[in-house]
Amino acid sequence: MKPPTDLMTDLYKFTDSDPHNLQDPDAAHLVIHHNQVLGMHAVPGLSVNVKELADGVDVKVVLDDGAVIRKPVHLCFGMYPETGVQRIIMDVAIGKNAVIALMAHCIFPFAVDVQHLMDANIRIGDGARYSYFERHVHSPKGGVKVYPKAIVEVGKKAYFKTEFELIKGRVGLIDLDYETSCDAAGVVDMTARISGRADDVIKIRETAHLKGEYARGVLTSKIAVRENARAEVYNKLTATAAFARGHVDCKEIVQDNGVATATPIVEVRHPKAHVTHEAAIGSVDSKQLETLMSRGLSEDAAVELIINGLLS
Amino acid sequence: MGILEVKDLVLAFNGKPILDNLNIDFWEGHIHAVVGPNGAGKSTLAATIMGLSGYTDIGGDILFAGESIKGLSLDRRAQMGITLAWQEPARFEGLTIRNFIRASAQDKSAENLKVVLREVGLEPEEYLNRAVDKTLSGGERKKVELASILAMKPKIAFLDEPDSGIDIESIERIFEAVKILKSGGTTVILITHSLAVLNQAEHAFLICSGKIVDKGPVEKIRKYFENKCIPCGHKNVPVQEIGGPV
């Protein structure tokens, strides 16, 4: 087994991030390999406590009221072995009027039979801003099963944005389940971008409850399924207060024998609330395809470019 | 002999001939215009030569540099150097102008991408990272498409209604870009019913009901515009030669 610092550097190489982030004293980071903390650094106003479990870690993150973390916090969760289970329990409390952005990478470069379970409970205080970007890097074998689950409470005038991206390597199985509730004048913005191929399976359930007046929410899913991949997307947006506004947007591209379903559910329980939805599933647009092919791209290269654009 | 020769080209939809034993030669390195009334077959001719889906079941032949391209796929024809700018360019959600142009560019350097954008009147700093999507106006998408063709440096470029959606201030820039294409050795074929576009050409062909009914210098073909073209089901000659407009 390599020393933790070497492992940490090796793991971080799989991200597109600058490895110097891990040496920046002004940038917080947390790097976990299976159930082992390889590196951790906090900054003033932010406290991170990690308890190592038999099959993962229990992480508690607290951001003080009014604390503004100027540089993105880097999180890296991963496993080198071909088999195993990594369970991440996250409890995040963001103080009132605090600001933080997190860049998370989940890395399973050699997985043959790996399960990655994320169970998060996130509370965002009134007036706070919390952005979370999560990028997965998987092996080309598709041997990863990912179960990210989160329950999020967004306070008054608070802002919650999450982006989930899995467009490199094979998906394997992903079963994403996020549920958020949003108080008055709060904002929820959730996006998932996933590209599946071979026999990958993609399941997305994103729910946002706009409970307070003037709460706003957008749920966006952009999915591509090729070869024999399958995708099921359930996006639900409810609005129960005056002037709550929301939109559900699902776009899925289907190639080869891929199968995609989209079920946007919108529910309005106040006459002054307004929620819309849009779902489009289909093959690559023929005019887009022919435009690129008329510039000399092969059909495969043109499809790749179009899908990469959609998922970007 | 032209770089592109169309011989006895026939294309029919539902039994109705759209291109009717059409013959045409395009000379290498020149700017040509194919003009005619709506529905004459101008865009169909370009789509058929390009080999777009639905335009491949044809009679006759299409020769590029003396070789038949009739059985070749769209991308193969493009790789040989033939391309087409659509009258209404496609939108691409999320695909940046940078990546769209770079996909076709012979010189993929960052500097070249800026050069071709400036040649169509778009500031690179403002546009390179924008998507080729609905946030661009129709005119902006036309310019982006023309920039991608400038970057491609094709041997033959069909430009279908290159002025549609382009504002008055930008039209001269588009015409300049056409001249840049020509100066780089591209044979340009303007598909148009605009007199201003026709005037950019050196040679013109008048098409009506799927046939070439006249060809020659622009001055000759312009007469049809000035006197309103009479469709060829009637007499396809300059109006003044048959006694004035009808």
User: Mind listing the pLDDT tens digit for each residue in A171-225?
Assistant: 999 999 999 999 999 999 999 999 999 999 999 999 999 999 999 999 999 999 9
Of A275, A60, A66, the C-alpha closest to A182 is A275
Name chain A contacts of B95, Cβ cutoff 8 Å. 305-306, 308-310, 312
Q: How confident is the model at residue B209 (pLDDT cuts 50, 70, 90)?
A: confident
Q: Measure in Å the smallest separation between the Cα of A222 and chain B Cα atoms.
A: 11
Beta bridge partners of B184: none
Q: Is the pLDDT of residue A26 over 80?
A: yes
Q: Mean pLDDT throughout B120-145?
A: 95
Q: Mean pLDDT throughout B12-18?
A: 89
Beta bridge partners of A236: A207, A265
Q: Is the pLDDT of residue A104 over 80?
A: yes
Q: How confident is the model at residue B208 (pLDDT cuts 50, 70, 90)?
A: confident
Q: How far apart are CA A136 and CA A122, in angstroms?
A: 20
CB contact, 8 Å: B152 with chain A?
Answer: yes
Q: Tell the residue number behind the tokens 């929301």, with chain if given.
A: A246
Q: How far apart are CA B26 and CA B5, in angstroms?
A: 7
CB contact, 8 Å: A167 with chain B?
Answer: no
Residue A251 to residue B93, Cβ atoms within 8 A: yes
Q: Is the pLDDT of residue A33 over 50?
A: yes
Helical ranges in B184-229 per DSSP H = 195-198, 218-226
Q: How far apart are CA A116 and CA A119, in angstroms?
A: 10
Q: How far is CA A89 from CA A86, A101, A201, A250, in A?
A: 10, 19, 24, 29
Taking each helix axis from N to C terminus, what angle separates A299-311 and B97-104, rounded to the nearest 10 degrees? 170
Residue A294 to residue B103, Cβ atoms within 8 A: no
Q: Mean pLDDT throughout B142-167?
A: 95
Q: Are A222 and A231 contacting, i.e. CB atoms less than 8 angstroms apart?
A: no
Q: How confident is the model at residue B223 (pLDDT cuts 50, 70, 90)?
A: confident
Q: Is the pLDDT of residue B64 over 90?
A: yes
Q: Tell the residue number behind the tokens 């779902």, with chain if given.
A: A279
Residue A296 to residue B90, Cβ atoms within 8 A: no
User: Which one-letter amino acid corresponds to residue B230?
Assistant: I
CB contact, 8 Å: A290 with chain B?
Answer: yes
Interface confidence: ipTM more than 0.95: no
- Convert the pLDDT of each residue in B69-127 to its tens digit: 999 999 999 999 999 999 999 999 999 999 999 999 999 999 999 999 999 999 999 99
- Residue B240 has a pLDDT of 41
The mean pLDDT of chain A is 93
Q: How confident is the model at residue B11 (pLDDT cuts 50, 70, 90)?
A: very high
* A286: nearest CA partner in chain B: B53
Residue A299 to residue B75, Cβ atoms within 8 A: yes
- Residue A167 has a pLDDT of 82
Residue A291: which of B86, B99, B131 has the nearest Cβ? B86
- Residue B47 has a pLDDT of 97
Q: Mean pLDDT throughout A150-173?
A: 94
Q: Are B132 and B97 contacting, i.e. CB atoms less than 8 angstroms apart?
A: yes
Question: H-helix or E-strand containing B102?
Answer: helix B97-104
- Residue A2 has a pLDDT of 57
Q: How far apart are CA A218 and CA A276, in angstroms?
A: 10
Q: Are A186 and A161 contacting, i.e. CB atoms less than 8 angstroms apart?
A: no
- Residue A142 has a pLDDT of 86
- Residue A169 has a pLDDT of 83
Q: Which of B75, B107, B116 to substitute to test the interface with A, most A CBs within 10 Å?
A: B75
Q: Are B26 and B36 contacting, i.e. CB atoms less than 8 angstroms apart?
A: no
Q: Measure in Å the smallest separation between the Cα of A262 and chain B Cα atoms.
A: 19
CA-based angle A48:A54:A56, to the nearest 5? 45
- Residue A153 has a pLDDT of 98
Higher pLDDT, B208 or B86: B86
Ranges A14-18, A95-99, B104-108, B197-201: which has the least confidence? A14-18
- Residue A3 has a pLDDT of 56
Q: Mean pLDDT throughout A144-162?
A: 97
- Convert the pLDDT of each residue in A67-87 to its tens digit: 999 999 999 999 988 999 999
Residue A296 to residue B79, Cβ atoms within 8 A: yes
Mapped onto helix, strand or coil, the DSSP state of residue B49 is helix
The pTM of the full predicted model, rounded to 2 decimals, is 0.83
> Could you tell me which residues come within 8 angstroms of residue B110 by beta carbon, excluding any fewer than 6 positions away?
none
- Residue B16 has a pLDDT of 87
- Residue A21 has a pLDDT of 76
Residue A309 to residue B92, Cβ atoms within 8 A: yes
- Convert the pLDDT of each residue in A211-246 to its tens digit: 999 999 999 999 999 999 999 999 999 999 999 999
Higher pLDDT, B242 or A246: A246
Ranges A10-19, A296-305, B80-89, B120-129: which has the least confidence? A10-19
Name chain A contacts of B131, Cβ cutoff 8 Å. 309
* B149: nearest CA partner in chain A: A295
Residue A298: which of B75, B84, B149 has the nearest Cβ? B75
Residue A296 to residue B152, Cβ atoms within 8 A: yes
Name chain A contacts of B86, Cβ cutoff 8 Å. 287, 291
Name chain B contacts of A286, Cβ cutoff 8 Å. 53
Q: How confident is the model at residue A127 (pLDDT cuts 50, 70, 90)?
A: very high
Q: What is the DSSP string of chain A?
A: ---HHHHHHHHHHTSSS-GGGGG-TTS-EEEEETTEEEEEE--TTEEEEEEE-SSEEEEEEEE-TT-B--SPEEEEEE--SSEEEEEEEEEEEE-TT-EEEEEEEEEETT-SEEEEEEEEEEEE-TT-EEEEEEEEEE-TT--EEEEEEEEEEE-TT-EEEEEEEEEES---EEEEEEEEEE-TT-EEEEEEEEEE-TT-EEEEEEEEEE-STT-EEEEEEEEEE-TT-EEEEEEEEEE-STT-EEEEEEEEEE-TT-EEEEEEEEEE-STT-EEEEEEEEES--HHHHHHHHTTT--HHHHHHHHHHHHH-
Q: How confident is the model at residue B237 (pLDDT cuts 50, 70, 90)?
A: very low
Q: How confident is the model at residue A10 (pLDDT cuts 50, 70, 90)?
A: confident
